[in-house]
């Protein structure tokens, strides 16, 4: 049973380009959470998705950031027109349930985005 798969592991983008981060949840997991870790900081919640639905995006910046979790395929976190401040590690976690989600959640290895 493969764990939560994130790719790419490392991504370099020039300012103004788009970044697409992918997260494949564990088999049987339909709840996905994205977190951002800025250098020397803890992880901050960004968005919570179920298949084809955004449940909570209260942690997402209002502009340039979007997320989806389609019926088929991985969850995608998309950052348009990246800026240097977007440089961070982005982690996703998946869980088989919503209530008590993190008692059974697993985190991926993260995608480290560097904006140059």
Query: Do residues 39 and 106 make contact, with C-beta atoms less than 8 angstroms apart?
Result: no
Helix (H, G, I), strand (E, B) or coil at 86: helix
Could you tell me the sign of the dihedral formed by the alpha carbons of 58, 93, 97, 53, in that order?
A: positive
Interface with other proteins, residue 44, by CB under 8 A: yes
- CB-nearer residue toward other proteins: 8 or 16: 8
Rounded least distance, CB 42 to other proteins, Å: 4
Q: How many residues does the chain have?
A: 116
Rounded least distance, CB 2 to other proteins, Å: 14
Binding residue (CB under 8 A) for other proteins from 7, 20, 76, 101? 101
CA atoms within 13 A on the CB side of 107: 13
Element (H, E) at 17: none
- CB-nearer residue toward other proteins: 3 or 73: 3
Interface with other proteins, residue 34, by CB under 8 A: no
Q: Using CB under 8 A, list all residues that contact other proteins.
A: 33, 35, 41-45, 48, 55-56, 59, 91, 93, 97-103, 105-110, 112
């Amino acid at each position: 049973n493969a764990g939560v798969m994130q790719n790419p592991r490392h991504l370099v983008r020039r300012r103004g380009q788009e970044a697409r981060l992918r997260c494949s949840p564990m088999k049987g997991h339909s709840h996905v959470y994205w977190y951002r870790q800025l250098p020397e900081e803890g992880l901050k919640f960004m968005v919570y998705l179920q298949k084809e639905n955004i449940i909570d995006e209260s942690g997402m910046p209002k502009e340039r950031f979007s997320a989806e979790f389609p019926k088929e395929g991985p969850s995608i976190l998309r950052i348009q027109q990246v800026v240097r401040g977007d440089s961070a590690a982005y982690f996703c976690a998946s869980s088989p349930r919503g209530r008590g989600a993190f008692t059974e959640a697993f985190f991926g290895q993260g995608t480290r985005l560097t904006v140059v």
